[in-house]
Amino acid sequence: MTWRTISRNSTAIPELKGEKTLLKCTDPACGNVFEMPKNKYYKDLQEKAALGASASLLTCPKCGKDTAYRAVKCKKCGTVFLYNPRPGIYEDKCSNCGFSEMEEAAKKGSSTQQK
């Protein structure tokens, strides 16, 4: 007799209930900003990658083009800017006021060990 727990975690998509990610259409004629659940974001990226499309751009619900890119909204000034990892710069650093939540957290946590 064996007891088995049915695992539904067969995919690599993490369970991110309630968490949302922000996206911004990079088409200057559109510029649409919208939110989507993170798990859907990752799922859509996987589907795009499977089709051989660009792995970081999703379809914009407003203009229908594959130009929507992950974005961050500044907690301080409210500017929405593209999530853009650059060497030596925090990827959530605001392009307008320079505020970075990650940088602030790193400063606060510099004396204590945090993951």
Q: Which of 23, 45, 58, 60 binds Zn ion (CB under 5 A)?
A: 60
> CA-based angle 12:82:42, to the nearest 5?
15
Distance CA 72, CA 26 (A): 13
- List 57, 74, 93, 100, residue binding Zn ion (CB under 5 A): 74
Considering beta carbons, is residue 39 or 67 the nearer one to Zn ion?
A: 67
Give, in order, the Cα–Cα distances in Å from 31 to each of 60, 65, 76.
9, 11, 21
Of the two residues 58 and 94, which places its CB atom closer to Zn ion in the complex? 94
- Residue 25 within binding range of Zn ion, rule CB under 5 A: yes
- Chain contacts with Zn ion (rule: CB under 5 A): 25, 27, 30, 32, 60, 62-63, 74, 76-77, 79, 94, 96-97, 99
